[in-house]
């Protein structure tokens, strides 16, 4: 019966592969989060707008993206989107890590659709009288949101956004299907080279779990430090 030999996958070479994958996964999560947050805010404001075209745009962005599996979206971004680009742009893309860029694009859209609903719910939790008072003082819709409503909604919005960050971290593993050299990709590479599947994927599972628990702990800390009080 094969014995558990962790040292077999902790050689300098294999350890380097796994560390590179972990760092790339963290980089991918960070970039996507920073891109998804403003896009999600824009989408949420569109859904709350008094303008029908803006509301329809927000609705299409949210429902269209949320109802398509992430795997399908990543494959579309990697295999279809480059073919729609001009030749010069496509050449640049393939010369600059197309797998990572396409993964970031697909994950950004997917994550922003879920974040948008959390932001919209947080904004709607602020009494409507706050928005009405701001408008009565002469603020436009966007200025009212930026100066009056959003600052009050932050405490409500942050906990679900941290939960979405946890989902985003786990979703980075799907990027392996388009060849993004993140943690799961490198784990498969180590397993193929070492024939140590149990050890390799045990380490990979622990790595995913440690980051997930860190995000969860941050969410719990925030909820205790800044409890949401009834309006």
Residue 1 lies in a domain: no
27 and 211 Cβ atoms separated by less than 8 Å: no
pLDDT at 2: 60
Percentage helix, strand, coil, to 5, in the chain?
A: 85, 0, 15
How many domains is the chain built from?
A: 1
230 lies in a domain? no
- Residue carrying structure tokens 């909820």: 223
Cβ atoms of residues 180 and 28 within 8 Å: yes
Number of helices (H), then strands (E), belonging to the chain: the values are 10, 0
The secondary element (H helix, E strand) that includes residue 132 is helix 128-136
Q: Is 33 part of any domain?
A: yes
Residue 37: inside a domain, yes or no? yes
Residue 87 counted as domain residue: yes
| CATH number of the domain to which 110 belongs | 1.10.3720.10
Which has the closest alpha carbon to 164: 111, 223, 219, 105? 111
Q: In a 10 Å sphere around its CB, with 0-12 CB exposed, 13-18 middle and 19+ buried, how is residue 230 labelled?
A: exposed
Residue 231 lies in a domain: no
Position 177 in a domain: yes
d(CA 174, CA 9): 23
Give the model confidence (pLDDT) of 51-83 as tens digits. 899 999 999 999 999 999 999 999 999 999 999
- The predicted-structure confidence for 104-116, as pLDDT tens digits, reads as follows 999 999 999 999 9
Tens of pLDDT along the chain (231 residues) come to 466 777 777 787 888 999 999 999 999 999 999 999 999 999 999 998 888 999 999 999 999 999 999 999 999 999 999 999 999 999 999 999 999 999 999 999 999 999 999 999 988 888 888 877 887 878 887 788 878 888 888 888 988 999 999 999 999 999 999 999 999 999 999 999 888 888 899 999 999 999 999 999 998 898 888 776 644
| 176, part of any domain | yes
Range of the domain at 63: 6-225
């Amino acid at each position: 019966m094969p014995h558990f030999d962790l040292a077999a996958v902790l050689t300098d070479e294999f350890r380097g592969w796994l560390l590179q994958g972990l760092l790339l996964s963290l980089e991918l999560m960070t970039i996507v989060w920073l891109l998804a947050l403003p896009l999600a805010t824009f989408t949420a404001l569109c859904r709350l707008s008094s303008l029908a075209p803006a509301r329809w745009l927000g609705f299409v962005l949210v429902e269209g993206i949320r109802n398509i599996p992430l795997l399908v979206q990543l494959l579309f971004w990697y295999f279809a989107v480059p073919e729609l680009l001009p030749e010069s742009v496509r050449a640049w893309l393939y010369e600059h890590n197309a797998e990572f860029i396409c993964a970031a694009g697909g994950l950004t859209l997917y994550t922003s659709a879920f974040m948008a609903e959390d932001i919209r719910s947080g904004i709607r939790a602020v009494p409507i009288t706050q928005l009405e008072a701001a408008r009565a003082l002469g603020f436009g819709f966007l200025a009212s949101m930026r100066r009056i409503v959003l600052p009050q909604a932050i405490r409500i919005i942050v906990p679900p956004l941290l939960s979405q960050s946890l989902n985003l971290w786990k979703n980075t593993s799907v990027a392996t299907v388009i060849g993004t050299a993140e943690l799961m990709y490198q784990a498969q590479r180590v397993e193929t080279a070492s024939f140590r599947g149990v050890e390799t994927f045990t380490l990979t599972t622990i790595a995913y779990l440690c980051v997930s628990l860190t995000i969860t702990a941050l969410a719990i800390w925030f909820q205790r430090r800044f409890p949401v009080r009834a309006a």
